[in-house]
Amino acid sequence: MSKKIGILTSGGDCAGLNAVIRAVVHAAHQKGWETLGILDGTAGLLKEEPEYRILTPDAFDGTILRMGGTILGTTNKGDPFHFPMKDGTFKDRSAEIIENCHKLGLDAIVAIGGDGSHAILRKLAQQGGVPMVGIPKTIDNDIGETEASVGFDTAVMVATEALDRLQPTAASHDRVMILEVMGRDAGHIALAAGIAGGADIILIPEIDYSIGNVVKKIEAVKQEGRNFALMVVSEAVKTPEGEQVHTTDSDGKKLYGGIGHYLSKEISKRNKVDTRVTVLGHVQRGSPPTYNDRLIASAFGVYAVDLIAAGKFDRMVAWKNRKVVDVAIEQAIAAYQAVDPSDTMVHTARGIGISFGDQG
């Protein structure tokens, strides 16, 4: 039976989103279905006339697969259940979205998002919206029930390449280079890039550290005869006293950021070493996707269409044991995935001499 499906990207962008959209459009087209690309996530459904574009395989001319960002646009602001109005109040605008989904005649929605977006879109589906399937994407890699989320691999590659570029200049100037990476409350990017990029110290929110231990590691590196050190710190790492370091966006919203500079000052107070800080920021999101992100994006997109064809909804596609499976969205949201300090990669890092600042 012919279907009309909607697809949207929601939350922060990342590399690989266009590869997902492409896969969904191709797979849906093969079934004779129509795909509407909703613009700007839920924001496109909050307009009086829903904003969308019809997507057909010929829209994917060979360049889009390679592009970072999302051709549909996205937003990580404006929860429709608690929507910030111009007068400073909040309003539940979920009914408008639900009405617009029906106005478009959608049989199902493919939502590409992180845990927050999955929670919102699931609630909309439950409250009378159209049935949905979810596709996990986030550079933070913190969505439960899946071993991979679209965008993480690329973010790690960018952070690793940053370390590759910092190492020669660190060695030329006898410096300690501090690289602050994203990841929100999970240290996955810092951990993976730190190992792959040859860091001496990795600080992540999941492992408590002391400045004393960090300084000891820097001194140990020097004593071994090396004139530089590389350190990766995850943006949500707190000060040893437990204070969150943050910055603000143009609306005054608190964002993580600044721990790298804090650490630089604290290290310099105790040790005469020359430090420099690089805050990698959104560069981790905008790069062309790695081959691996393109592969999982494609596999997720095709499988999401299979789920709709089978009438299986309220499910998120997931990567487990080398293949795509589907899990209950509720379960995936509940199983938030931070770094487990007993994880193989933490053990690996320690095994190659990397310090987490927790041991002297």
The stretch near ligand F6P (CB under 6 A) out of 26-34, 64-72, 133-141, 343-351 is: 133-141
Q: If residue 108 lies in a helix (H) or strand (E), which one and from where to where?
A: strand 108-113
First to last CA, the chain: 65
In the complex, the smallest distance separating the C-beta of residue 284 from ligand F6P, rounded to whole angstroms, is: 7
Decide if residue 76 touches ligand F6P (CB under 6 A). Answer: yes
Q: How far apart are CA 205 and CA 228, in angstroms?
A: 24
Decide if residue 255 touches ligand F6P (CB under 6 A). Answer: yes
CB 300 within 8 A of CB 317: yes
Decide if residue 160 touches ligand F6P (CB under 6 A). Answer: no
In the complex, the smallest distance separating the C-beta of residue 287 from ligand F6P, rounded to whole angstroms, is: 13
Q: How far apart are CA 138 and CA 191, in angstroms?
A: 16
| Phi, psi dihedrals of residue 352, rounded to the nearest 5° | -105, 20
In the complex, the smallest distance separating the C-beta of residue 300 from ligand F6P, rounded to whole angstroms, is: 18
In the complex, the smallest distance separating the C-beta of residue 115 from ligand F6P, rounded to whole angstroms, is: 10
CB 153 within 8 A of CB 290: yes
In the complex, the smallest distance separating the C-beta of residue 232 from ligand F6P, rounded to whole angstroms, is: 14
- Nearest residue (CB) to ligand F6P, 160 versus 213: 160
Q: Is 249 known to be catalytic?
A: no
- Nearest residue (CB) to ligand F6P, 186 versus 267: 186
In the complex, the smallest distance separating the C-beta of residue 279 from ligand F6P, rounded to whole angstroms, is: 11
SS3 89: coil
Binders of ligand F6P among residues 162 to 221 (CB under 6 A) are 182-184
> From the list 40, 96, 115, 140, which residue makes contact with ligand F6P (rule: CB under 6 A)?
140
- Nearest residue (CB) to ligand F6P, 161 versus 219: 161
In the complex, the smallest distance separating the C-beta of residue 15 from ligand F6P, rounded to whole angstroms, is: 11
Give pairs for 338-347: CB < 8 Å, separation 24+: 338/142, 338/185, 338/186, 338/187, 338/205, 338/206, 339/186, 339/187, 339/188, 339/191, 339/204, 339/206, 339/207, 340/206, 341/206, 341/207, 343/191, 345/191, 345/192, 345/195, 346/191, 346/207
Quickly tell me which residue has 């459009």 as its tokens. Answer: 25
- Nearest residue (CB) to ligand F6P, 110 versus 182: 182
Binders of ligand F6P among residues 283 to 342 (CB under 6 A) are 285
CA 242 to chain centre: 24
- Nearest residue (CB) to ligand F6P, 256 versus 300: 256
Quickly tell me which residue has 């300084």 as its tokens. Answer: 215
The stretch near ligand F6P (CB under 6 A) out of 50-58, 93-101, 132-140, 263-271 is: 132-140
The stretch near ligand F6P (CB under 6 A) out of 58-66, 134-142, 325-333, 345-353 is: 134-142
> From the list 24, 55, 139, 297, which residue makes contact with ligand F6P (rule: CB under 6 A)?
139
- The active-site residue, picked from 13, 140, 293, 326, is 140
> From the list 12, 16, 68, 69, which residue makes contact with ligand F6P (rule: CB under 6 A)?
12
CB 164 within 8 A of CB 196: no
Return left, alpha or beta for 113; rule: phi > 0 is left, psi -120 to 50 is alpha, else beta. beta
> From the list 33, 52, 152, 256, which residue makes contact with ligand F6P (rule: CB under 6 A)?
256
CA 26 to chain centre: 25
Contact footprint for ligand F6P (CB under 6 A): 12, 76, 138-140, 182-184, 235, 255-256, 285
Catalytic residues: 140
